[in-house]
Amino acid sequence: MSDIPQERRVLTAIPGPKSVELQARRTAAIAAGVGSTLPVFAARAGGGIIEDVDGNRLIDFGSGIAVTSVGASAEAVVRRASAQLADFTHTCFMVTPYEGYVEVCERLAELTPGDHAKKSALFNSGAEAVENAVKIARAYTKRTAVVVFDHGYHGRTNLTMALTAKNMPYKQGFGPFAPEVYRVPVAYGYRWPTGAENAGAEASAQAIDEITKQIGAQNVAAIIIEPVLGEGGFIEPAKGFLPEIARFAKDNGIVFVADEIQSGFCRTGQWFACEDEGIVPDLITTAKGIAGGLPLSAVTGRAEIMDAAHSGGLGGTYGGNPVACAGALGAIETMIELDLNGKARRIEEVMKGRLGEMRAKLPNGGVIGDIRGRGAMIAIELVKSGTKEPDAAATAALAKACHAEGLLVLTCGTYGNVLRFLPPLVIGEDLLDEGLDILEQAFATL
């Protein structure tokens, strides 16, 4: 594990001179479509700190978008991946298989919800996992339609762009998109017209009505939803919504897919966010936090559904790469040994407490319209004071002020007005508090 000191240190302007020099090289060599939240070039990272090429140490409230939950250089991940590198880097599981892939799939069967027989297939990215979940559901049901939800995000491939709700920056100019994708309402409590208390029942009824009337339940292969909607703004569907949608899927022979790519692996204080309301999905897609920073993803689900695709129908050259599988086994080992579910729940307790205090100090709550999320997947939705009008400008200004002081934060949301917090689950509480201090000071700059 990196021996990087777990202390914030700001030596230069952020970005510093070496990062500025690298940014010029980047601009000349890298396509403009590849963006960055903060053009600070990393040199080392570990625990709750990212150290840049100028020697600045930033508090990390992003985890590489929920990837480095066990830290960016967790001992077990480095140890296992290094040992695998020394043995072999690749054979292609579809050519000559290896034990690591099998072991990861065995662990996924143990950890994912439900006690039914399960199987998995491994891929490289979250988008690949979602795309393959659709393939599997279509093979199993012999149907074609796929239902997704307002504010959902599922990836950047052609099919997953179609599944994703938000146009900019994910879809603009990249069409036409894959057909037979239908979008229905989600229970976004903060913005539900009749109030959050009605959102679960009303949104589920509306979604089911639209599926029944406009698509026909008998035509739907899969319903795909993030149990906590990530890029859409860390929206927790109002209670009752997910169970009702899952029940409808079961009653109509539809494969219910939980997209746990951002919310999985202890991020919400449970192994998987769908456990909160006792949901047992037919298929679950995972990536991000699965392998401690190495590229790996999975589709795990009911054995009879997973086996529906014909031999050779699933796979990919790098899918389930042996080094990534070793990293995943190290990440899972770390999650269990350090009780990262417990750590995530403690992060929620600290963050929600402090954010609530910040809102209480602002007149009528000021720009903080909503505080939400679970575990170490927490967000604040920013609005124009006294209204629910999204305030993307304030969100960007807050992020910029945090960055200048050495706190890395991310934004998200359909309206660009959500500040999201995804600290590594291994972050020290002193760093967590210091990061929240910086955020509180940033509010004074608005």
With pLDDT > 70 as the criterion, what percentage of the chain qualifies? 99
**Residue of 61, 62, 55 lying closest to 41 (CA atoms):** 55
| Per-residue pLDDT reduced to its tens digit, 344-402 | 999 999 999 999 999 999 887 789 999 999 999 999 999 999 899 999 999 999 999 99
pTM greater than 0.95: yes
The long-range contacts involving 169-172, CB below 8 angstroms and separated by at least 24 positions, are 169/35
C-beta of residue 370 within 8 angstroms of C-beta of residue 357: no
Q: What is the pLDDT of residue 210?
A: 98
Type of residue at 14: I
| Per-residue pLDDT reduced to its tens digit, 401-442 | 999 999 999 999 999 999 999 999 999 999 999 999 999 999
Distance CA 130, CA 120 (A): 13
Q: What is the pLDDT of residue 362?
A: 86
1 pLDDT band, cuts 50/70/90, is low
Question: Distance from CA of residue 330 to its chain's centroid?
Answer: 20
Question: Distance from CA of residue 105 to its chain's centroid?
Answer: 20
Distance CA 289, CA 328 (A): 9
**Residue of 336, 339, 345, 371 lying closest to 356 (CA atoms):** 371
What are the residues facing 118 on neighbouring strands?
302
| Per-residue pLDDT reduced to its tens digit, 236-274 | 999 999 999 999 999 999 999 999 999 999 999 999 999
Q: What phi and psi, each to the nearest 5 degrees, are found at residue 405?
A: -95, 5
What are the residues facing 50 on neighbouring strands?
45, 58
Distance CA 208, CA 223 (A): 11
DSSP state of 310: P
The whole-chain average pLDDT of the chain stands at 97
Distance CA 127, CA 224 (A): 13
| Contact partners, residue 402, CB within 8 Å, separation at least 6 | 408, 409, 438, 439, 442
Phi-psi category of 290—alpha, beta or left, where left has phi over 0 and alpha has psi -120 to 50?
alpha
Compute the average pLDDT of residues 274-295. Answer: 98
Strands 57-60 and 407-408: parallel
114 token code pair: 């439900």
Distance CA 235, CA 244 (A): 17
Q: What is the pLDDT of residue 363?
A: 80
Residues composing the chain: 446
73 token code pair: 């250089």
Whether the per-residue pLDDT at 181 is higher than 90: the answer is yes
Question: Distance from CA of residue 1 to its chain's centroid?
Answer: 24
Compute the average pLDDT of residues 214-230. Answer: 98
Distance CA 397, CA 403 (A): 10
| C-alpha distance from residue 404 to each of 60, 98, 373, 416 (Å) | 13, 46, 26, 20
C-beta of residue 260 within 8 angstroms of C-beta of residue 285: yes
229 token code pair: 């909607």
Range list of β-strands (E), 217-326: 220-225, 255-259, 283-286, 297-302
Strands 145-149 and 181-184: parallel
Strand order from edge to edge, sheet including 418-421: 368-374, 377-382, 418-421, 410-412
Whether the per-residue pLDDT at 11 is higher than 80: the answer is yes
185 token code pair: 């309402």
Distance CA 90, CA 88 (A): 6
With pLDDT > 90 as the criterion, what percentage of the chain qualifies? 97
Distance CA 170, CA 29 (A): 22
Residue 367 in 3-state DSSP? coil
265 token code pair: 């692996």
54 token code pair: 């100028």
400 CB neighbour count, 10 Å cutoff: 13
What are the DSSP calls for 121-156, one per residue? EEESSHHHHHHHHHHHHHHHH---EEEEETT----S
Compute the average pLDDT of residues 113-137. Answer: 98
Strands 220-225 and 145-149: parallel
- Rg of the Cα atoms in the chain: 21
Q: What phi and psi, each to the nearest 5 degrees, are found at residue 282?
A: -70, -45
8 token code pair: 């914030």
Q: What is the pLDDT of residue 446?
A: 87
